[in-house]
Every structure is written in structure tokens, then in C-alpha cells.
Structure 1
Amino acid sequence: MKFIEEIVVEEFLPTFRSMLAEDLRNRGFTQHEVAEALGISQSAVSKYAHGDISRRDVVVTDEDVKALVNQIGTGLTAGDMSRVQALIESEVLIRRLEAGGVITRLHEESMPEVAEHDGYSRIHDPEGGLRTSEQIRSSLRRALRRLTNTTGFAEFIPNVGSNLVACLPDATTVDDVAGVPGRIFDVKGNTTVPGDPEFGVSEHVASVLLTARANGFEFNSAINIYYDVDIIEQLSNAGYDTVEFDPDAAGDPIQTAFSSMASNNITISETEAEAQPVACYQTGGYGIEPVIYILASDTDTIIEIVQELLVPKTRG
């Protein structure tokens, strides 16, 4: 009797790890960096590099395995993927391959009789909460890298700082929204991101996003930027809805603004696949800095708007 978990440990993982080590080495990682990234010893990396670990050809040539090795290698190299996400994606693939892929075939090879039964297939949720959270943080890392590489964006960071946020599919509280801890700042003309994206660190921009969602807008990302009448004009000319609110108004002015937008049918149409971006802004008040909030369906759309419509302008 041989358990499928034994196949994973003895037949699959040595080949999979050696493929990951080889991929990272080809991307310029040192032996020490490979060991640190994969959580294995340098001696193990050395064995992989020198071919001291036998590899199963059926695993090496499997398209799903090759695709994940490339995804993890790309993500770890760029810094978009954490070790946690790499582990989760690997676990998801293993569960899938156990239920009808190369691991199943290896199991059947070891115990031909299991091919007659489907009972060893295990229930696994590939869309689990932790995986989704890591994917959102990954999308934020990519977007923030694009933002820091966008020449001139620092000019549009308010004095209080900016934040770029993204939320879980069913977000209802700030803990369901990921953002930059400490906000994004202009440091001598450079866009500076002080830390890795985390959930629950942006009460301000996160609250704006959550308020929009509570009023029926299918937005999953938002950013706040410096207010300028020319920026609002650019956004409006580009076809985006722009709505002003009064920060000194009684009650919750953000709630009032989005409630008004919803009642005026400024929202997703029945024929559109996703919510169209909007800009909500205020021109300042007593002790309140003017600001623009741009909300969209995803971080990529936010960055595209910033790059195409905002960066060419300057505060002058």
C-alpha cells in the first residue's frame, strides 16, 4: 500500500524543487539566494545543480508543472510573489495533479489497482481565502512597481501622502482591503513606497472604496491623488464620471456623494462586464487638503489612468 502523499514526497517534490532551483539559477540567483527563496539547504541546491537528484521525466515535461515553475520564477525574481504565495500556488497545483494529473499517473504506476477507483481524489478549494489574499497583494506589488517607475507621479502625491488599495471580492471592512502601510510619499521628487502591501492598513482610502461598494459600485481598487482642476478636466474629457463632494457637509459626505451618483445612474450598465472608473473629489475645507479619489475595477486600470491622464501634467 502506497499513499498518494508518499508519491508527492518521493516522486514529485524532488523533481519539482530541482526545476525551481534550475529556473532561479538561470535567472541569476546565487546558490544562497535559491536556498533562501525555496527554503532548502545550500547543499540541496548544489545537488540539484550537479544533477545528483534523479528527476522524473513525466514531471519535467508536464505543461502545468512547467507553467507554474515559470510563474514562480518570474514572481520571485520580480518581487511580486511572496514565498507564501509560491507555496500556496504549489499546493493548489499538487492537489489538482492528485485529482487527475501527473501525480495521479505516478500513483497508478506505483499501485495499478487505484486506477479502478476515484476515492483517493481529495476535496480542495483552489479559491481559498489565503490564496485570494496573496493574489491581491501580488497585484498591488506589480501596480506599485509600475507607479514608482512612472516618471512624474510624485508630483501628484498630496501632502498627506497617497495610497493605492485593492480589496477582497466580498470586502465589507478595512481589514478586507490591502494597501501600503504608512502611505506613498514624495521624497525629493521620488515616489516612495515604505512597505509591502498589507490588509487593514488604509482606513482612509479603503473607507472611500468600501463606501462606493456599499452603494452598488463594483470597484475593487482606488487611489487618492493631488487635486487640480486641470486633472478633473482631463478625466472628464477622457469620458470618466467626475463628482464633487463637500468635505464640510453634515453627515458622511463620501456616502452622500456615492448615494447621489447611484441615484443618478452613474454606475455599471447591464451590458458592461465591469464598473467604469469614476473620480470623486473635493476642493478642500478648513484644515482639509483637496484631493481626488480614482476608483476602478482593478489596480491595472488605476495605473493606466494615472499614466495616461495624470502623469503628463504638472502642478504648475
Structure 2
Amino acid sequence: MRFAEEIVVDEFLPTFRSMLAEDLRERGLTQSEVADALGISQSAVSKYAHGDVAQNARIREDERIVRLVDEIGEGLATGSMSRVQALVEVEVLIRRLEDHDLISQLHEERMPELKGHGGDFNVHDPNDELRATERVLSSVRRGLRAVEQAGGFASLIPAVGSNLCECLPGADGIDDVAGVPGRIFDVKGRATIPAEPEFSVSEHVASILLAVRSHGVDARAALNVRYDPDIVARLEDLGYETAEFDAKYDNLSEAVGAALDETPDATVLYHTGGYGIEPITYILADSAEDAAEIARKLA
């Protein structure tokens, strides 16, 4: 009797780890850094690197596995993907491969009595909440890296600071929105990001995002930058619909809703401020990466 998990342990994991170790080494990571990224010993990395670990050719040549190795290798090397997300992505792929796919095929070959029955169970849900939260955090990290590397982004940061947020698909409160703790500030002409993104840390920008979503806008992300008529004009020149709302609102949702009633396709909201209120522009997008890309066009 042989279990599918044995195929995973004996054939999939050695092959996958070898591929990932090779990928990370090719990206310039040291043997010690690869060991830390994969959570294994340096001696194990050495064995993978020198081909001392048996690999399954069918697993190694599977296009989905090759793509995932490349995605995780880039994410771990650049810091845009956490080890938790990497683990979740691999686990999800393993469960898919166990379900009437490659691992179940290999399982049936090792135990012919299973032919026609392999992979009839699925122990992981690809839409698991952990996977969704890690995907959002990863997107925010990539967006933050983009604005950090944009030379002129600091000039777009308002006095109150910027924040880049993205929400879960079914978000209904700020607990479902990830952003930067403490916001992004201009420090001597450089965009400074004080900490890794977290959920429940952005109240204002998250509230804007939730307000527009409550009025039927499909945006999943928002980024605030300073207001300037030239900035709004440049965004309009780039093809983005803009809408102004009243900064002196008693009810944010009503103020945003009134603006969207006049311009339903708006992807940029702004207000011109008021007494004690700094004027701000809000960029809406499908993801944090997309919002960051729009800001880069302005920088």
C-alpha cells in the first residue's frame, strides 16, 4: 500500500526544491540565503545544486511547475512574496496535481490497483482565506516596491502621507484592507515605507476604497497622492475619468456616492480641501500594483 503523500515526499518535493534552489542561485542568492529562503540546511542546498538528489523528469518538465518555480523564485529573491505565500502556492498546486492530475497519475503507476480512482479527494481549497490574504499582501508589497523605486514619487506625497491599500474580494470593513502601517512619507526627497503591509492599519484610504466599492465600483486598490490641478489634468490626459467630492462631508459614503452619480466611471477621486483639511487625490485600480503603476506615470 502506497499513499499519494509518499509521491509528494519522495518525488515531487525533491524535484521542486532542486528546481527552486537552482532558480534562486541563478538569481544571485548565496547558498546560505537559499537555505534560509527554503528553510533547509546549507548541506541540503549543496546536494540540490550539485544534482545529488534524484529528480522526476515528468515533474521537472511540467509547465505549471516550471511557472510556479519562476514566480516563487522571483518573489523570494525580491522580497515581494513571503515564505507563507510561497508555501500556500505550492500546497495549492500539490492538491491540484493530486486531483485527477500528475501526482494521481504517478500514484496510480506506483499502485496499479488505484487506476481509475486516483485523486478522488481534495483536501485543500484553492480559494482558502489564507491564500487570498497572502495574495493581497504580496500585491501591496510589489506596489510599494514600484513606488519606492519611482524617482519622483516623493514629490506626489501629501503632507499627511500616502498609503497604498488593497482589499480582499469580499471586503466589508477595514479589517479586510491591507495597507502600510504609519503611511508612506517623504524623507529628504525619498519615499519612505516604515513597515511591511498589514491588514487593519489604514483607516482613511481604506474607508475611501470601501466607500467606492459600496457604490458599485469594482476597484480593489487605492493610493492617495497630493492634489494639484495639474496632477488631475495629467490623469485625465492619460485617459482616467476623474470626479470631485466634497471634503467637508458628514458622511463619506454619501459624499463619494454623489460624485460617482455624476461620473460613474471615475477611477480618480479628489477634493480640494477645506479649513484644516489638506486637498487629496485618490487613485483607484484593480490592484495595488496597478495603482502604483498609475502613480509612476505621474512621477
* TM-score over 0.5 for the pair: yes
Contact kept in structure 2, 1:243 and 1:257, CA below 8 Å: no
Per the alignment, residue 279 of structure 1 pairs with: 268
Structure 1: runs of 5+ lacking an equivalent: 268-275, 312-316
Contact kept in structure 2, 1:181 and 1:202, CA below 8 Å: yes
SS at match of 1:116: coil
Residue 239 of structure 1 and its aligned partner are, at CA, apart by 4.2
Q: Structure 2 matches for 1:96-245, cutoff 5 A?
A: 96-118=96-118, 120-245=120-245
SS at match of 1:186: strand
Contact kept in structure 2, 1:284 and 1:290, CA below 8 Å: yes
Q: Structure 2 matches for 1:294-305, cutoff 5 A?
A: 294-305=283-294
Cα deviation code 1:122-158 (max 9, x no counterpart): 2532122111111111111221111112121101101
Residue 26 of structure 1 and its aligned partner are, at CA, apart by 1.7
Residue 301 of structure 1 and its aligned partner are, at CA, apart by 3.3
Residue 287 of structure 1 and its aligned partner are, at CA, apart by 2.1
Aligned partners of 1:296 and 1:137: how far apart in 2? 16
Aligned partners of 2:288 and 2:26: how far apart in 1? 30
Residue 76 of structure 1 and its aligned partner are, at CA, apart by 1.0
Aligned partners of 1:207 and 1:4: how far apart in 2? 46
Q: Structure 2 matches for 1:71-82, cutoff 5 A?
A: 71-82=71-82
Q: Structure 2 matches for 1:26-105, cutoff 5 A?
A: 26-105=26-105
Contact kept in structure 2, 1:282 and 1:292, CA below 8 Å: yes
Contact kept in structure 2, 1:223 and 1:293, CA below 8 Å: yes
Residue 296 of structure 1 and its aligned partner are, at CA, apart by 2.4
Contact kept in structure 2, 1:277 and 1:294, CA below 8 Å: no
SS at match of 1:127: coil
Which letter maps to 1:294? Answer: I
Aligned partners of 1:12 and 1:234: how far apart in 2? 51
SS at match of 1:54: coil
Aligned partners of 1:47 and 1:239: how far apart in 2? 53
Q: TM-score, normalised by structure 1?
A: 0.88
SS at match of 1:243: strand
For residues 150 and 113 of structure 1, do their structure 2 counterparts lie closer, same or farther at Cα, with a shift above 3 Å needed?
same
Contact kept in structure 1, 2:245 and 2:256, CA below 8 Å: no
Aligned partners of 2:85 and 2:147: how far apart in 1? 22
Residue 300 of structure 1 and its aligned partner are, at CA, apart by 3.7
Aligned partners of 2:268 and 2:54: how far apart in 1? 57
Per the alignment, residue 13 of structure 2 pairs with: 13
SS at match of 1:307: helix
Per the alignment, residue 259 of structure 1 pairs with: 257
Which letter maps to 1:128? Answer: D
Contact kept in structure 2, 1:222 and 1:302, CA below 8 Å: yes
Count of matched residue pairs: 299
Choose from 284, 291, 314 the match for 2:280: 291
Aligned partners of 1:280 and 1:197: how far apart in 2? 23
For residues 94 and 234 of structure 1, do their structure 2 counterparts lie closer, same or farther at Cα, with a shift above 3 Å needed?
same
Which letter maps to 1:15? Answer: T
Percent identity reads: 56
Contact kept in structure 1, 2:260 and 2:266, CA below 8 Å: no
Structure 2: runs of 5+ lacking an equivalent: none
Per the alignment, residue 306 of structure 1 pairs with: 295
Aligned partners of 2:245 and 2:56: how far apart in 1? 63
For residues 86 and 257 of structure 1, do their structure 2 counterparts lie closer, same or farther at Cα, with a shift above 3 Å needed?
same
